[in-house]
Amino acid sequence: MPEWLLTDENYSPPNDRDTFVNKSILSFLSILARIKTQDSSETGKYGISAIFKVAFTFMLILLLSLSRSFVFVMIINVYLIVILSLMKAEDIVKILKVSLVMSLFTFILLLPAAFWGNSSSTILITGKVFATITVVNILSRTTKWTSITGALKKFFVPDLFILVLDITIKYIVMLGDFALSMLYALKLRSVGKNKSKYTALSGIGGTLFIKSKEMAEDMYIAMECRGFTGEYHVYNNFKFTIADFGYIMINVGIIVLFVYFGRI
């Protein structure tokens, strides 16, 4: 037996920090879990139709952008906070985190205008930003992506826009799963101190680009073979419920408030 086979192996690899890889994995997991959870969540028996949600969300954003009344903006913010209070705690935290951060960022940008005597506009615009981001996040958290694209089709949105939106969401999930597998492989195969982490991550980015190109070509061939002409057809059994009626009445009240307060 050779002497080197009889000696003990006492290799102790030096410690290395893999915080960047761990954060990347957690970020991918968070995004994928968010999309998959939303797409698999079931709408309640008395849930509001996605058509009304999308329509009145865009209407509310338009009214907020046109309004010059501080009272109207504050009423809408109170209304949205009441809606938030009826949602799950984790959804409330995530929505408020985004809304408050963006509102604070807007307030800091407009702070010089407040020092020059235009404090009312600063507070008004900050309130509008908070309400706009909150209402969009509420729509995103309470409505499936498929329901949103179906509602867009009902409003005669071009099929090309719906196709891009739908395919983008699906590709985020598929490429995210692929990127997660490569990050796990990178972490498991990194023994000791890796001095070329960014080189490995750039390799992952390049592989993702090639994989996305191959998937796009395969999808095009599959859609061409199946006779897809770019036209979307929505098949759903729409039923007008009591919740839809109540939601419409609330938004009619918002329109009345805008007419009364909105231009003051």
Q: What string of DSSP letters covers the chain?
A: --HHHHS-----PPP---HHHHHHHHHHHHHHHHHHHHHHPPPPTTPPPHHHHHHHHHHHHHHHHH---HHHHHHHHHHHHHHHHTS-HHHHHHHHHHHHHHHHHHHHHTHHHHHTT-HHHHHHHHHHHHHHHHHHHHHHHHS-HHHHHHHHHHTT--HHHHHHHHHHHHHHHHHHHHHHHHHHHHHHH--S--S-HHHHHHHHHHHHHHHHHHHHHHHHHHHHHTT--S-----------HHHHHHHHHHHHHHHHIIIIIT-
Quick one: pLDDT at residue 77? 92
pLDDT over threshold 50, residue 196: yes
Quick one: pLDDT at residue 19? 61
Tokens read off for 12: 């102790």
Tokens read off for 6: 């009889």
Could you tell me which residues come within 8 angstroms of residue 189 by beta carbon, excluding any fewer than 6 positions away? none
pLDDT over threshold 80, residue 189: no
In this prediction, residues 133-159 reach a mean pLDDT of: 81
Label residue 157 by pLDDT band (50, 70, 90): confident
Quick one: pLDDT at residue 45? 42
Choice among 14-28, 44-58, 162-176 with the minimum mean pLDDT: 14-28
pLDDT digits (tens, 9 = 90+) for 201-213: 777 778 878 888 8
Mean pLDDT, all residues of the chain:
78
Most confident segment among 20-29, 75-84, 114-123: 75-84
In this prediction, residues 132-138 reach a mean pLDDT of: 90
> Higher-confidence residue: 25 or 52?
52
pLDDT digits (tens, 9 = 90+) for 55-113: 899 999 999 888 888 889 999 999 999 998 888 888 888 888 888 998 899 888 888 87
Quick one: pLDDT at residue 135? 92
> Higher-confidence residue: 71 or 159?
71
> Higher-confidence residue: 6 or 62?
62
Quick one: pLDDT at residue 198? 64
pLDDT over threshold 60, residue 237: yes
pLDDT over threshold 50, residue 46: no
pLDDT over threshold 70, residue 137: yes
